[in-house]
A and B are shown apart, each in its own frame.
Chain A
Amino acid sequence: MKPAPFRYADPRSLEEALDVLTAEHGAKVLAGGQSLIPLLAMRLAAPATLVDINRVPGLDTVETTGDGVRVGALVRHDGLLRDSPDATAAARVQPLLARATANVAHPAIRNRGTTVGSIAHADPSGEMTAVLALTGGSVTVATPEGRSTVGWQDLFVGPLETSLAGPAVVVDAFFPALPARSGTAFAEISRRKGDYAVCGAGVVVTLDEDRRVAAVRASYLSVGLVPEVHDLTEAVAGKPVDGADWAAAGALARTLVDPDGDIHASADYRRLLVGVLTERTLAEAAAEALERTAA
C-alpha cells in the first residue's frame, strides 16, 4: 500500500498550477486528498504528477450573496459547519449545504477534505454532488484559455468521472440560494455513522402564496451512476402543505430511481429507502417552507 512513484508540484499561483497541468500529461490536482490519497496508496490511481493547490492563494473563501453561496476550492467541509460569520451567512441563504455537509464522513475527514474536491471527484455516493445537482449549481473551471462556468448537468458524466478534460482546476462551486417560500431537508442511512450512505436524500419543497405545494424536487445518494434531480411535484401538487401525502411522493420517487445492489444493500432495499427517506425529508422540508413563508 505504497503509491507508485509520482512527481509533486506545489505551485504558488493558479497560473503556475495550470502550467504544470499543461506540461505534465495526466497530472492530478490534490486539494484535501481524502479520496485521492487512498486511491494512490492502493495503486488504483497512479498519476505521474500531483499538483498540490494548497498554496495557491485566493481559493479558500466562502462568498455569500443573495444569489447563492460560492465555495472556494480550498474550503474544507468543516468551513461550512463551524461557528463563523461565513458559515452562518451561507446557511441562511442555502441551508441545504450545511445540512448535507454535516453528513460527510467524520470530523478528521471534514477537517481536510474539501467541498469542491468532492464535487470534482464526482462520486455518486457523495453528499456534495447531490447538493450541487439539487440546488442547480455549477462550478467555475480555470483552464489556460480562461475561466468558464459548467453547470452540474454538464459536469457529471459517470461514476468518478467528469466532463473536465485537459489542464483544468475547479476553482469554486456555486450553490444558488434557496428560492422563496421553500424549505430543504437532508437525510441519509449508512451502515455505520459517517460511512458512505447506503442511501441518502436531499429535497427542496416550494410553496405557492396560498401555502400549497408548488414544487418538490429530490436528489439521492448512492442510487445511480451520476447525481440526478427528480421532480416529485405531480404526487403532491396543489395540496395544502399540512395535508400533503408525502408517502405518495415517496412512492413516486421509488418508481423514478434505478439503484444498483452491492455488498451492503440490494437494489430493492435502496429503492425502499428512497421511498422512506423521501417521505421523511419532505415532511421536514415542508415544515421549513411553511416557516419561511410565514416569515
Chain B
Amino acid sequence: MTTKLFGEPVRRREDARLITGKGRYLDDLGAGALAAAFVRSPHAHARVTDVDVEAALDVEGLVAIYTYEDLTGPMAEPMPVLIPHPQLHAPRTGYALANGVVHHVGEPVVMVVATDRYVAEDAADRIAVSYEELPVVVGVDAAREARATVHDDVPDNVAARHHQETGDVEPALAAAPHTLSFTQYIERSACMPLEGKGVHARWDADDGSLRVHSSTQASTSVRAAIAAKLELSLDRVEVIAPDVGGGFGVKIVHPWPEELLVPMAAIRLGREVKWAEDRREHFISSAHERQQRQEITVGFDDDGRITALDVHVWHDNGAYTPYGIIVPIITATQLVGPYAIPVYRVVVESVYTNTVIVTPYRGAGRPQGCYAMERTMDRIADALGLDRAEVRRRNLITPDQFPYDHRLTFQDGRPVIYDSGDYPGLLDKLVALVGWDEAGALRADAQARGKLLGIGMALYVEGTGPGPYEGGHVQVLGSGKVLVSTGLTSQGQGHETVFAQIVASELGVPIDDVEVHTGDTRRFGYAVGTFASRAAVMSGNAVALAARGVREKALRIAADVLEADPADLEIDEGQVQVKGTPGASIPLRTVAVLSNPLRYAFDQAAQQATQFVTHDDSKPPVAPGDAPGLEHRDYYSPIRSTFASGAHAAVVEIDPRTWEIDVVRYAVVHDCGNVVNPMIVEGQVQGGVAQGVGGALYERMAYDGDGQLQNASFMDFLMPYASEVPDIAIDHQETPSPLNPLGIKGAGEAGVIPGTAAIASAIEDAVGRRITSMPISPTELYDLMRDETAERTAGSQQVPLQTGVPA
C-alpha cells in the first residue's frame, strides 16, 4: 500500500521551510515589542551591596528597570526545584533576580526593559552594581576539598549523595582474582544550540490572558510554571514553542528566570516584551554539563570477566540544582552499559561550584558513565594482555537474558530492566565495519607515513522514552485534511515528518494530507516535554493510538453507509473501501463530514450531513456515548523506559611531532528498535557523533580560578566544524521494543554517548600512555608525552616510534 510510510526515508517536510529562511523562530516574533536586557553578575561569588540605577534613568527609550526588590509573591521566592529526590538533601536554587548573594558569573541581577535591545543594553551598561566578593569554588576537586563553600549552609558543598548497589561489593572485590583502581576526569561542555533561549510575552488586559512564546523544550510545563509564579489561572495562560533552533537539553530546564520575568514585565507594562538570549549570555547563564571525577575499582577473573565494580563519582552540579539529580542518576545507572555486572555499587556525590548550573546536555550523564565503564574494559584488557573487543564480548549480556534486570532504579523512578537487544550482534557488526582486526596493517601504514595510529571502541545502552506520558490528537476534517497534535515540542529533529509518517501509515491517508502541530498548549494541554530521546517513543506511540481510534470510528461510520461489516473495510489513500470489492467505497473526508450531524451547511460537502438529507429517525443524530466529529485523543504511558544500544569505534592518527590528533575513521552500529525514518535516524547519529568528537577533542569550559569563563564565545569555545568531523560509517540493527505498540526506541542522543570513551581508547592505543582526562588537546598530549611519570600502558611496546619529544 502506498500509504505505509513507516520505515521509509521520507524527506523532512520541515526542511524547505527551515533552510530557506521561512522558519518562525522566537526572535522573528514581536517586531514592535519592547526589549529586555539583563545586568548579570561579573563575579562568581559575591554579595550584592548596592544597585544604583540613577545613571540609566535618562537613557532615552528606557521603559522599566526591575531588581529583586520589585518582585512580589511567588516571584520573590527561590526558583522551583523541578525534580525533587530524597537523596538531594541540600537542594538550592537561585532567584529570578539576585537576592543578596550571586553564586556564578552571569546570574541575572537587574532587568532592563526599553524600546529596543540596543537601548536596553545602553541602559544596562549604566547601572552600577556594587559587590563584596566572596571565596570562589571552581572545579570538582575544589568543591570536594571544601576549603570554601558555595552556599553558606552547605559546608561540604555536597548537594546530594546518590547511592545504589546490587550486592555486597567489598567481599566481592576481596574475592576477585584481580583488581584495578584508578581515577579519571571528564570536563564540561554545553549544548550550544544555534538559537539561544528566548521569550516573548503579550498580555491582553481586556481578556486577562497571557500569550507567551518561548524557545523551550517543554511548553506545557512552562505554562504551569508561569501560571504558578505569576499567580494566574492556568486557563488564562498559553505557551507556544515556535520553531526552535536546537535544544539538546538546555531548553528542557524551566522556568528560566527570563521565562518568568518577561511575562511579568509584559503584564505590568501592558506591552509586548521580548528577550532573545545572545551568545555570551548563553555561555554564562544557561547550563553546562559533564564534569566528573570518577574513582573506579573493578574486580575481574583471569578471563577478564568482571566480578565486581565499585564506582565513586564526584559530579559538578554548578551553583544550583533546579533539575535535581537527574544527571547523576543517569550516570550511575547507565554506566553498566551492555554488560552483566554481578555486583555493582555506585555513589555519586553531586557538589556545588560557583559556575553555571549543570543540567542535561544530549547524552545527559551517559557519556560520563560510558567513559567510566569502557575505560575500565580497556584497563582490564591491558592488564591481562587481551584484545579489547574480546574482553567486552565476554562481559556482554546475551540475547537470551532479556528482559535483563540490573536491579537499579532509573531516572524515571522505575527499574532498569533492559527490554530487548543483541549486544554481541552489535559488537560483531562493529568489528567488521571498522576493520578492528586489520588495525595492525593500518598501524604499519601510518608508521610508514610517520604517524601514530590507534583504534578504540565503546559500547553503550541508553534508556530512552521515559514517562510519565505523552498524548496525541488526530482529527479528520471535511476537506480530508488530517490534523495531528501532540504537546511535546520540536527543535528541528523532524517530528513533523515522523509523526505524519506514523499517522499516514496508521490511518491510510496520503502523507501530504497530514498536518502536524507540536508544542502549542492551545492545541494540546497535556504533555511532558522533549528530552531523554523520548519524542518518537512517547508521542509517536500516542499519535499512533489516536490514529487507530480515528480509524475505528471512521470504519464504524463508513460501515453504516456502505452497509458492510467494519471488519471488512480498509482505508487506503484516503478512501474507505470494502476489501476486495472495487467501487464499494467512500472518501474518508466524506466520513468526516457525516461524523458531524449539521443544521447548517456552507458548502456542497457539508450538505450531506444536514438534517433534511440524513434519514434515520430511529436514533438521535449523535448516539449516546458517541461524539460529533472524526477525531480521537489518546495517550501513551509506558511501564518503564525502553533501552536502545549501540557501538562506536574510532581510528585516530597522531602526528608525533605536533601531537595533532585526527580522527580518520569512525564507525557506528546503532539499534533503536523499529526505525520510523532511517534518514532521520542517521542524521541524529551524525549530529551526535559531531558533538561526541567535540566533547572528546575540542570543547571545554575554560573557567579560571576566579570563576570567569575564559572562552565564552564561538571564537574560543571550539565546537568542531564540518572539517573536524570525520566521515561516519553507519550500520543498523533492529531489536524491536516489546514495551510499546510501534516497537520503537529513542534515537536522539545515542550518537554522542560513546565518543569520548572511544576516542580516548584510540589515542591511548596510538601513544601507549594512559589517558585519564578528557577532552584532550594537542598541547595536553604533548605535556603527557614528555611527562616521565606518565603511566605507560602494557600495550605501549607496540607503539612504533619512540617519539622524540624536544624539551
Q: Give A contacts to B, CB under 8 Å.
A: 1-5, 42-43, 189, 191-196, 198, 251, 254, 263-266, 268-269, 272-273, 275-276
Contacts and interface: CB of A to CB of B under 8 A. Distances in A.
Interface string B670-698: 00000000000000000000000000001
Contacts of B715: 196
B778 interface: yes
Given A266-B782, A268-B783, A272-B658, 8 more contacts: A2-B121, A4-B122, A4-B125, A43-B121, A191-B698, A193-B723, A263-B716, A264-B716
A128 to B, nearest CB: 18
A254 B806 CA distance: 10
A263 B715 CA distance: 12
Given A2-B121, A43-B125, A263-B711, A193 B724 contact: yes
A198 B778 CA distance: 10
A1 B718 contact: no
Interface in B695-722: 698, 702, 710-711, 713, 715-716, 718, 720-721
A2 B118 contact: yes
A1 B35 CA distance: 13
25 contacts: A1-B121, A2-B118, A3-B118, A42-B280, A189-B658, A191-B778, A192-B721, A192-B723, A193-B724, A194-B721, A194-B723, A195-B718, A196-B715, A254-B806, A263-B710, A264-B716, A264-B777, A265-B778, A265-B779, A266-B779, A268-B782, A268-B783, A272-B658, A275-B806, A276-B657
B788 to A, nearest CB: 15
A192 B118 contact: no
Interface string B300-343: 00000000000000000000000000000000000000000000
B484 to A, nearest CB: 38
A140 B104 CA distance: 48
Contact of A1 (B280, B660, B698, B720): B280
A1 B279 contact: yes
A266 B660 contact: no
Nearest to A265: B779
Given A268-B782, A276-B657, A192 B710 contact: no
B77 interface: no
Given A1-B279, A1-B280, A42-B280, A192 B724 contact: yes
B445 interface: no
B122 A5 contact: yes
A280 to B, nearest CB: 9
Interface string B108-121: 00000000011001
A117 B118 CA distance: 27
Contacts of A265: 777-779
Interface of B: 117-118, 121-122, 125, 278-280, 657-660, 698, 702, 710-711, 713, 715-716, 718, 720-721, 723-724, 777-779, 782-783, 806
A199 to B, nearest CB: 9
Contacts of B710: 263
A84 B720 CA distance: 33
The winner among A192, A196, A275 for most chain B CB atoms within 10 A is A192
Contacts of B716: 263-264
Given A4-B125, A263-B710, A273-B658, A192 B806 contact: no
A196 B713 CA distance: 14
Contact of A276 (B117, B122, B658, B718): B658
B117 A2 contact: yes
Contact of B778 (A42, A254, A263, A269): A269
A2 B112 CA distance: 14
Contact of B720 (A4, A189, A192, A251): A192
B34 to A, nearest CB: 14
Contacts of B657: 272, 276
A269 B117 CA distance: 42
Contacts of A198: 778-779
Nearest to B711: A263
Nearest to A276: B657
List the 3 closest pairs (A to B, CB-CB), nearest first: A193-B723, A1-B278, A269-B779
B702 A263 contact: yes
Contacts of B698: 191-192
Contacts of A273: 658
The winner among A1, A5, A268, A275 for most chain B CB atoms within 10 A is A1
Nearest to A250: B806
Contacts of A266: 779, 782-783
Contacts of A43: 121, 125
Given A5-B118, A272-B782, A191 B777 contact: yes
A268 B806 CA distance: 10
A273 B660 CA distance: 11
Contacts of B723: 192-194
Contacts of A192: 698, 718, 720-721, 723-724
Nearest to A269: B779
Contacts of B718: 191-192, 195, 264
Contacts of B806: 251, 254, 272, 275
Given A192-B698, A263-B716, A269 B711 contact: no
B116 to A, nearest CB: 8
Nearest to B722: A193
Contacts of B782: 266, 268-269, 272
